[in-house]
Amino acid sequence: MPQATFCFRCIGCSSVTHTPSQDFRCAQCGNLLEITDPGWKSANLDAATLNSVWRARRSSDAILDRSGVWRFRELLPAPASEQQIVTLREGNTPLYELPQASLITGVPRLYAKHQGMNPTGSFKDTGMTVAATFARQAGYRWVACASTGNTSASMAAYAARGGMRSLVLVPDGKISWSKLSQALDYGALTCQLRTDFDGCLRLLQELVRRAPVYQLNSINPFRLEGQKTLALELLEQLDWQPPDHIIVPGGNLGNSSAIGKALLEMRDIGLIPRLPKLSVIQAEGANALVRTMREADGKRLVNVQPETRATAIRIGNPASWEKAVKILQATGGACEQVNELEIAQAKAEIGAEGIGCEPASAVTLAGLKKLRQQGFVKSDETVVLILTGNLLKDPDFTMEFHRGTLFEGGAQESESLKLKALRHPPVVLDATLDAVIAALDRVEKSDRTQING
């Protein structure tokens, strides 16, 4: 492992410490901390050498090299020894071309970086391997998180893998059962609280001040260090030629902050010649960052009461909002919102590519359409959508959409009829050959009708 020289710096007052508090807040001003490493500058990291080393590790059988996170360990905080590292071979996720979505958006060079292909099905794993490692090194028996689902699944898995116990605080009735089932299977003590995500997070902040419990939400800066490797891996897949735009879903805003941090570091080291524009898309019903940018010019957080079927981003008081604002400003990115109908349509269109994603991921394609209409994204530019979660994270959403019940009884019910062509409900038939052939014929007829206009 590289020599550990990192420290913690406040994003507000810039004060530095080597021993952060349990809630990972600055002791001087109460703001969030980020990890910085003066050793990178003194080591004179060479872009060409790093690129060569990282590529060579892809064919290595060493445990750390099999991880798409620890393969980039020169730019990560280093634990005391390799034996402390908790890994499930996270990262190494595919970069897909999106030919059908390219036609829909008018962007020929359109890609999706699918973080839903991580071990527990979401991008959270790339951050959890680093944070769980330092929890283990510090000797904690219990780790904990507040979650809308993906964080709890990831934390519980890495805690189990690292020989630790895990506590999950989730909002009662506002989480996908598929995600909750993962936490249960990995042995977490799961508490469903009668509040929303923000209430769960507030309670967790109080808990870690009073009990020997290690917090693994994205407030923990080790999480963001791991999550930033998404951007390193993406640029490596693009042969270090930056796209013009990277578009990310916005929930608690740790992921956009992590990706932006990586972009700035890659530019400073010389791995990339320029910064892509990093844009954040939120659900209309959970649009705290959108309102913060529009109503307060990014200077104060505008809280909202969140409501969206995209449960992974149903957050009204995002903890990393200041980090996200700085990244939007540094990269010249946009912040946009999309409604529930637009999310459902985009999710079905991504599914038609044969890759699929959870609803929160689909805000990226829906947001791209709006950014194209506004002229922010040009047709000759390269765009990468970050898909944060697997299709199987929220199968109820998918089934309700295809059965036509997703918007039933709601304000958008009549408008949702225009999405009928994207629905593929199951068909109940008699068990006869004629019935199956007739079903095939109906689909063929429908396809010909669509092709002919």
Q: Nearest-CA neighbor of 430 among 438, 421, 441?
A: 438
Give the span between the Cα atoms of 223 and 353, in whole angstroms: 31
Give the residue carrying structure tokens 């320029």: 274
The backbone torsions φ and ψ at residue 350, rounded to the nearest 5 degrees and listed phi first, read -70, -40
Give the span between the Cα atoms of 328 and 260, in whole angstroms: 8
How much is the pLDDT for 59?
A: 95
* Distance, first Cα to last Cα, the chain: 60
Question: Tell me: the pLDDT tens digits for 178-223?
Answer: 888 999 999 999 999 999 888 999 999 999 999 999 999 989 999 9
Dihedral Cα 128, 131, 137, 142, nearest 10 deg: -80
pLDDT at 174 over 80: no
Burial label, 233 (beta-carbon count in 10 A; 0-12, 13-18, 19+): buried
Give the Å distances, CA to CA, from 281 to 72, 239, 355: 28, 26, 20
Task: Tell me the pLDDT band of 448, cut-offs 50, 70 and 90.
Answer: confident
Question: Tell me: the pLDDT tens digits for 119-141?
Answer: 999 999 999 999 999 999 999 99
Entry pTM: 0.94
The rounded mean pLDDT for the chain is 94
